[in-house]
């Protein structure tokens, strides 16, 4: 278990980047780099983190870092891994480099999933880190495959007829696990020791590993910047974002199931869900509750835990 006191004080991610005040993704990147075990290189998909950390001539990165395109991060990382191998083979470089591919939910769930699937299938020794702020925040809060049902975005506004996004969040961890890779985990920056532990495990895995971390976005979620960590916790505690590991296909809950908080506790902190708390949308709120509970129970079942939410 990660102990904060013993964590490295070395900051591989520098201050002065231009992500928003209270940015969840920023926290997730810094924590991920704290879990590094040695030399590390990152490949970063287009998105908030990429754009705001490397505005020429300023870079926040103190590790070798590549931004290529939006959808090809996993492929670029695959090439980089092979380059290091090949150069080592011909004696042109020495020593293991841990490669982390970083993408937001849009760059991962949607446009980048083909390249990611290829990377997982080919078995590259790369950690894929998806920081999930549940919409295309960089382009101005459009829905993605990771946006949860009910959330208002600029392409799924809470209108008079349609109350926000109608579809459920994609089971991303399940998709990754289905590739038969040895380590997949969901995590939340609200439970940072657990998250950094998972990052360490992912790096240690010989072969591909995927971390899907929930990172609240004050801008897109219309929340108080100071609530970022709190929201990341409550999302887990309401069962809306269960955190678990899939180790060699076996599911394991990261938190023992206890009493779940009512999802209103989560929704009331965010403007993107505020419409759902109006009496006229009671049915939609109920549907979301039911769906969230079913999903939570599904994960409990996969983890072999007693299926109860009481």
Which of these, 188, 302, 171, lies nearest to 247 by C-alpha position?
302
* Residue of 35, 80, 127, 141 interacting with other proteins (CB under 8 A): 80
Rounded distance, CA 175 to CA 109, Å?
10
* Residue of 1, 89, 280, 283 interacting with other proteins (CB under 8 A): 89
* Residue of 35, 151, 189, 243 interacting with other proteins (CB under 8 A): 189
Rounded distance, CA 34 to CA 39, Å?
12
Pair of tokens at residue 148: 């949860």
Residue 214 lies near other proteins (rule: CB under 8 A): no
Residue 179 lies near other proteins (rule: CB under 8 A): no
Rounded distance, CA 275 to CA 278, Å?
6
Residue 287 lies near other proteins (rule: CB under 8 A): no
Q: Which is nearer to other proteins, 118 or 157 (CB)?
A: 118
Residues near 93 by Cβ (< 8 Å), separated by ≥ 6?
A: 84, 87
* Residue of 32, 47, 48, 67 interacting with other proteins (CB under 8 A): 67
Binding to other proteins, residues 7-46 (CB under 8 A): 7, 9, 11, 13-24, 26-27, 30-31, 34, 39-41, 43
Rounded distance, CA 60 to CA 36, Å?
17
Residue 107 lies near other proteins (rule: CB under 8 A): no
* Residue of 37, 55, 154, 180 interacting with other proteins (CB under 8 A): 55
CA distances (Å), origin 105, targets 66, 169, 188: 18, 11, 14
Q: Which is nearer to other proteins, 84 or 266 (CB)?
A: 84
Q: What is the DSSP letter of 281?
A: G
Burial of 123 (0-12, 13-18, 19+ CB in 10 A): middle
Q: Which is nearer to other proteins, 51 or 247 (CB)?
A: 51
Q: Which is nearer to other proteins, 192 or 296 (CB)?
A: 192
Q: Which is nearer to other proteins, 87 or 162 (CB)?
A: 87
> Closest approach of Cβ 266 to other proteins, in Å?
16
Piece in contact with other proteins (CB under 8 A), picked from 91-99, 179-187, 241-249, 274-282: 91-99
Would you tell me how many other CB atoms lie within 10 Å of the CB of residue 78? 23
Tokens 């108080």: give the residue.
Answer: 224
Rounded distance, CA 113 to CA 71, Å?
8
Binding to other proteins, residues 234-273 (CB under 8 A): none
Binding to other proteins, residues 113-152 (CB under 8 A): 114-115, 117-118, 121-122
Rounded distance, CA 47 to CA 228, Å?
19
Q: Which is nearer to other proteins, 89 or 256 (CB)?
A: 89
Q: Which is nearer to other proteins, 85 or 286 (CB)?
A: 85
Classified as helix, coil or strand, 129 is strand
Interface with other proteins: number of residues (CB under 8 A): 83
């Amino acid at each position: 278990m990660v102990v904060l006191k013993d964590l490295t004080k070395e900051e591989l991610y520098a201050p002065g980047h231009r992500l928003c005040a209270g940015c969840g993704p920023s926290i997730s990147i810094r924590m991920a780099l704290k879990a590094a075990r040695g030399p590390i290189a990152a490949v970063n998909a287009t998105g908030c983190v990429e754009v705001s950390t490397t505005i020429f001539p300023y870079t926040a990165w103190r590790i070798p870092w590549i931004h290529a395109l939006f959808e090809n991060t996993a492929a670029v990382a695959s090439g980089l891994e092979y380059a290091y191998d090949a150069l080592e083979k011909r004696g042109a470089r020495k020593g293991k480099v841990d490669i982390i591919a970083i993408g937001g939910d849009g760059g991962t769930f949607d446009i980048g999933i083909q390249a990611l699937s290829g990377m997982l299938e080919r078995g590259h020794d790369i950690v894929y880190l998806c920081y999930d702020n549940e919409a295309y925040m960089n382009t101005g809060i459009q829905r993605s495959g990771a946006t949860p049902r009910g959330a208002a975005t600029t392409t799924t506004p809470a209108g008079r007829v349609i109350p926000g996004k109608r579809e459920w969040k994609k089971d991303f961890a399940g998709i990754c696990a289905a590739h038969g890779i040895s380590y997949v985990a969901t995590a939340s920056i609200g439970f940072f020791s657990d998250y950094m532990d998972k990052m360490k495990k992912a790096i240690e895995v010989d072969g591909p590993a995927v971390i899907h971390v929930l990172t609240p976005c004050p801008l897109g979620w219309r929340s108080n910047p100071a609530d970022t960590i709190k929201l990341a916790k409550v999302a887990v505690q309401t069962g809306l974002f269960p955190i678990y590991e899939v180790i060699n296909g076996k599911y394991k809950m990261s938190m023992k199931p206890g009493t779940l908080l009512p999802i209103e506790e989560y929704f009331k902190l965010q403007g993107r869900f505020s419409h759902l708390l109006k009496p006229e949308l009671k049915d939609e709120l109920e549907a979301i509750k039911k769906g969230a509970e079913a999903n939570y129970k599904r994960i409990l079942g996969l983890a072999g835990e007693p299926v109860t939410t009481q």
